[in-house]
Amino acid sequence: MAQTEKTVEEKMRELYSLQEIDSQIDEIEILKGELPMEVSDLEDEIAGLDTRINRLSATVKELQQEISRHEANIAESEQLILRYEDQMNNVKNNREYEALMKETEMQRLEIQLSDKKAGGAARELEAKQGTLSATQERRDDKVKLLEVKQEELKSIIAKTEKTEKKLRRQSEKQRKTIEDRLLRGYDKIRKSYRNGLAVVTVERNACGGCFNAIPPQQQLEISQRKRIMICEHCNRILVDHNINEEVPAE
């Protein structure tokens, strides 16, 4: 079963192709990875605002009830004063008159007190209503944003599901073309970097993974594609950026 040994160049191309496929899968993961978090953060924030709105609404209602209570007290006192004034017109003696005067005076003081309390409550009510409507506005904005993000996430999932499956199949297929030893190295390097890059190109005389400069002699060797070259700073596999093209003639 004679199988022609692959050239280093072919191996490098295969590894680089695998990297390109896997990087596309990583991109999908990143896209999905951030949106669900944003959505759940917004949901938490809205729940917090809802609690605040409920509390503020309850306070507003209490203050409105308090103001009504003071107003009712004032009305009651005014009624009493009218009655006392009526009675004063028909008093039998001075003592009775004095007593009614005193009662009237007391009701006037009651009215003043209720008026003051009602005024205080009204000022507090105005402030709370201001905070309440600002909070409601903020909540409405967050709900709108949440709807946008949810739509975005839904469409990403709908759009990427097929692509992701296809890419994963491609990745599996591509892996089968690569020898185990290289694959193990690739997986190990890929796992050790958050950006998942194990095979990188040389860009502007530097490693495309860690951006450290690559000496000219090493660059020459990379472009000759005779040996698999590793970046001495980050251990990533280096390929020249024209890897999919033929080596330019001397």
Give the residues lining the site for Zn ion (CB under 5 A).
207, 209-210, 231, 233-234
Please say which residue, 73 or 209, places its beta carbon nearer to Zn ion: 209
Minimum distance from CB of 188 to Zn ion (Å)?
A: 15
CB within 8 A of 143, min separation 6: which ones?
Answer: 46
The whole-angstrom distance between residue 143's C-alpha and the CA centroid of its chain comes to 12
CB of 23 to Zn ion, least distance (A): 16
Nearer CB in complex with Zn ion: 87/235 = 235
Give the residue with the Cβ less far from Zn ion, 35 or 182: 182
Of 126, 125, 127, nearest to 63 by C-alpha is: 125
Which lies closer to Zn ion via its Cβ, residue 7 or residue 212?
A: 212
Instruction: Using the minimum distance from each CB to Zn ion, give the nearer residue, 56 or 238.
Output: 238
Rounded least distance, CB 152 to Zn ion, Å? 34
| Residue among 163, 157, 190 at smallest CA distance from 175 | 190
**CA angle at 60 for the pair 55 and 62, rounded to the nearest 5°:** 95
What is the layout of strands, in order, in the sheet containing 237-239? 206-207, 199-203, 237-239, 229-230
Our CB check for Zn ion shows the closer of 135 and 201 to be 201
Minimum Å distance from CB 201 to Zn ion?
Answer: 11
Q: What minimum distance in Å lies between the beta carbon of 248 and Zn ion?
A: 24
Nearer to Zn ion, 118 or 199 (CB): 199
Write down the least CB distance from residue 198 to Zn ion, Å. Answer: 11
- Closest distance to Zn ion from the beta carbon of 210 (Å): 3
